């Protein structure tokens, strides 16, 4: 299924929305995407983004970008800016619909006071460790805190003193009074406010108590008149708490929460906490390292946003969790680039060829014509320069060819793409016996790569002119983890692939490759799809491989 007809898809979320519209339950469909600004967005977030913004667009509604900025110790303006950039790059407009949970701190505080006044919240001075031990387990009920039955007046006084900064972190917290016997651990008197003496990116030091996600989530939805709060499945057990707050507070709007399966991708991790550890331990260079599953990393690697939208659209929206193979993602990217990417030639492991019967004058050169994209005539043609000395890939030559090797060998003739037929006459080696150069002859009558007398030539090689090519560094990326599910056999960090990056520094490019911007992916013929790195310059070109031309995952599994 292609991106253009994703709007025709049907799933349980869209069925619910259509039913609500038919029943006239809402004047306008409102959704929200609520990232915590404590890291960069990854491809898992892309599924939620495409769903929340997608259904809002499909049903002429509204989707808010709401930053869940309730933990100032981990949040930063850098992450806020990065999230906005990623959303725009992915193709979604949110400029008039940006919200922050911190916009509602005063209202959330007032609602906490309301719960205290109703006898539904209390200030607890159990330590975090004590609170965990009192909580119980899935098979054992919890134990009520000694603070649970404090008088309302005392709770109001203590909560105000918490707000005024009179207590140190961890000394006290505000808990909802629900049911310590509940089979759902989320209802066992959850903490709704904790003390944090930290500078907030937006409110500075105005607050030293901050609402927990579960307390801010539903109420923020209600303030924004969200109609369908779409969450991933791990929040399913939180839904009773979401509804409890809405039922017990004087809030006219009653949004509903619906859960769908999250995206799990093989050979990588989709946890911001673990991704940050990869950075801190030096396994990757940052959030935008091309090996990372972050949108910034995928962008730097050359993955187009259209391919990401297409990929998550093909997965659909279900309630069943599963693992999506990395090969499926790469195939989607490859399908997209096969149609859109222009072609160029590059040699990554060069072997020099001297064409002995070609004019020796270094100023002499041929100008050849090459197709930019066989799938798009509008991309036109380009000029190629051909000279006496060229480079081919080292593995396109074999001194003692095997039966099924149809490329260059001693006495063998091959076609140089867009150029001429050549035949190998001599192999030059160094003192250690390594092949360092080939001496060949070309057929001047075969210009364009055509056989003048109809003789059959099976092999076609890509090449670059030694005199006109540009030297570059090429980064080849492999899987970030050696196991499909990192940590399935032990510590996930032990499964990091130590050879996930291979950097080649003696590569040669067709000069026109340097004309492409860093956000444009092109095909290096016979090699794969590549994109100029952010640090690439005309003087020091650096290109990152987006995906190979063929699926390389089958042999790994």
Report how far residue 91's alpha carbon sits from residue 38's, in angstroms, rounded to the nearest whole number.
22
CB-based contact 272:42 (threshold 8 Å)? yes
Report how far residue 149's alpha carbon sits from residue 130's, in angstroms, rounded to the nearest whole number.
17
Q: Check if 36 is active-site.
A: yes
| Residue that is written with structure tokens 């096969």 in the block | 338
Q: Check if 502 is active-site.
A: no
How many other CB atoms are there within 10 angstroms of residue 374's CB atom?
9
| Residue that is written with structure tokens 């693992």 in the block | 323
Query: How are strands ordered across the β-sheet holding 521-524?
Result: 343-344, 521-524, 528-532, 542-548, 470-477, 501-509, 346-347
Q: Is 149 helix (H, G, I), strand (E, B) or coil?
A: coil
Q: Say which of 9, 14, 36, 365 is annotated catalytic.
A: 36
Nearest to 232 by CA among 176, 312, 303, 305: 312
CB-based contact 440:355 (threshold 8 Å)? yes
DSSP 397: B
At 345, give phi and psi (nearest 5°): -115, 140
Q: Say which of 135, 262, 352, 526 is annotated catalytic.
A: 262
Report how far residue 542's alpha carbon sits from residue 540's, in angstroms, rounded to the nearest whole number.
6
Nearest to 21 by CA among 55, 64, 66, 65: 55
Report how far residue 270's alpha carbon sits from residue 292's, in angstroms, rounded to the nearest whole number.
9
Report residue 545 as tokens.
């491989």
What radius of gyration do the chain's Cα atoms show? 31
End-to-end CA distance of the chain: 26
Give every CB contact of residue 91 below 8 A, 6+ residues apart in sequence.
305, 306, 309
How many other CB atoms are there within 10 angstroms of residue 486's CB atom?
23
Q: Check if 272 is active-site.
A: yes
Report how far residue 143's alpha carbon sits from residue 134's, in angstroms, rounded to the nearest whole number.
5
Q: Say which of 272, 301, 334, 545 is annotated catalytic.
A: 272
Report residue 377 as tokens.
């005539």
Catalytic residues: 36, 262, 272
């Amino acid at each position: 299924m292609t991106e253009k007809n994703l709007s025709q898809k049907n799933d349980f979320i869209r069925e619910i929305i259509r039913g609500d519209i038919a029943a006239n339950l809402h004047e306008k469909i409102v959704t929200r995407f609520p990232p915590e600004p404590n890291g960069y967005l990854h491809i898992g977030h892309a599924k939620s983004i495409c769903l929340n913004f997608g259904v809002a667009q499909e049903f002429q509604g509204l989707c808010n970008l709401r930053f869940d900025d309730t933990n100032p110790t981990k949040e930063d303006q850098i992450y806020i800016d990065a999230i906005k950039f990623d959303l725009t790059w992915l193709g979604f407009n949110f400029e008039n619909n940006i919200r922050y949970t911190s916009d509602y701190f005063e209202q959330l505080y007032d609602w906490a006071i309301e719960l205290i006044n109703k006898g539904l919240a209390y200030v607890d001075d159990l330590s975090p460790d004590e609170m965990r031990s009192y909580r119980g387990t899935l098979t054992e009920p919890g134990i009520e805190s000694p603070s649970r039955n404090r008088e309302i007046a005392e709770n109001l006084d203590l909560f105000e003193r918490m707000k005024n900064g009179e207590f140190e972190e961890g000394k006290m917290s505000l808990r909802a009074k629900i049911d310590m016997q509940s089979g759902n651990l989320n209802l066992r008197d959850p903490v709704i406010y904790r003390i944090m003496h930290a500078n907030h990116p937006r409110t500075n030091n105005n607050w030293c108590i901050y609402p927990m996600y579960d307390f801010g989530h539903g109420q923020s939805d209600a303030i924004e008149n969200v109609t369908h709060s779409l969450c991933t499945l791990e929040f399913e057990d939180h839904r009773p708490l979401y509804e409890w707050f809405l039922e017990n507070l004087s809030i006219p709007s009653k949004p509903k929460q619906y859960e769908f399966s999250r995206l799990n991708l093989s050979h990588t991790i989709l946890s911001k906490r673990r991704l940050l550890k990869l950075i801190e331990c030096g396994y990757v260079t940052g959030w935008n390292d091309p090996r990372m599953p972050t949108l910034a990393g995928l962008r730097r690697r050359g993955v187009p946003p259209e391919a990401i939208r297409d990929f998550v659209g093909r997965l659909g929206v279900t309630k069943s969790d599963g693992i999506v193979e990395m090969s499926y993602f790469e195939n989607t990217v490859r399908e997209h680039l096969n149609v859109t990417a222009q072609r160029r030639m590059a040699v990554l492991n060069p072997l020099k060829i001297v064409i002995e019967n070609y004019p020796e004058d270094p100023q002499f050169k041929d100008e050849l014509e090459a197709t930019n994209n066989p799938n798009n005539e509008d991309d036109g043609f380009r000029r190629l320069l051909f000279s006496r000395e060229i480079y081919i890939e080292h593995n396109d030559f074999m001194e003692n060819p095997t039966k099924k090797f149809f490329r260059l060998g001693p006495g063998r003739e091959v076609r140089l793409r867009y150029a001429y037929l050549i035949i190998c006459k001599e192999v030059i080696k160094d003192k250690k016996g390594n092949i360092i150069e080939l001496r060949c002859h070309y057929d001047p009558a075969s210009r364009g790569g055509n056989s003048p007398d109809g003789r059959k030539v099976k092999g076609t090689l890509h090449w670059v002119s030694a005199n006109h090519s540009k030297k570059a560094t090429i980064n080849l990326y492999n899987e970030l983890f050696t196991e499909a599910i990192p940590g399935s056999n032990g510590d996930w960090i032990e499964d990091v692939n130590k050879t996930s990056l291979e950097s080649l520094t003696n590569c040669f490019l067709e000069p026109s490759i340097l004309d492409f911007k860093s956000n444009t992916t092109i095909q290096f013929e016979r090699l794969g799809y590549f994109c100029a790195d952010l640090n690439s310059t005309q003087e020091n070109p650096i290109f990152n491989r987006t995906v190979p031309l063929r699926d390389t995952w089958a042999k790994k599994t």
